[in-house]
Amino acid sequence: MRINRLLGILLCALSVNAAAQSYPSKAVRMVVAWPPGGGADIMARIDTLGGHVPIY
């Protein structure tokens, strides 16, 4: 039981460090596998409004 508590505290301490990293560190690219003008394309474009995400 004591080892579980120690392991839990250790994992919490490591997760704080991971949360401090800036995300994303490089450009994000969204790939839509359907033709332009279709429902999937329109939803992808609405989803990326306000962000600078190129859609391919």
Question: Any residues with CB less than 8 A from the CB of 34 and at least 6 apart, and which?
Answer: 40, 41
pLDDT in tens, 1-56: 788 888 888 877 776 665 556 666 777 788 888 888 899 988 888 888 777 777 77
Identify the pLDDT of residue 12: 75
Nearest alpha carbon to residue 28 among 47, 42, 13, 12 = 47
Identify the pLDDT of residue 1: 73
Identify the pLDDT of residue 26: 74
Identify the pLDDT of residue 20: 54
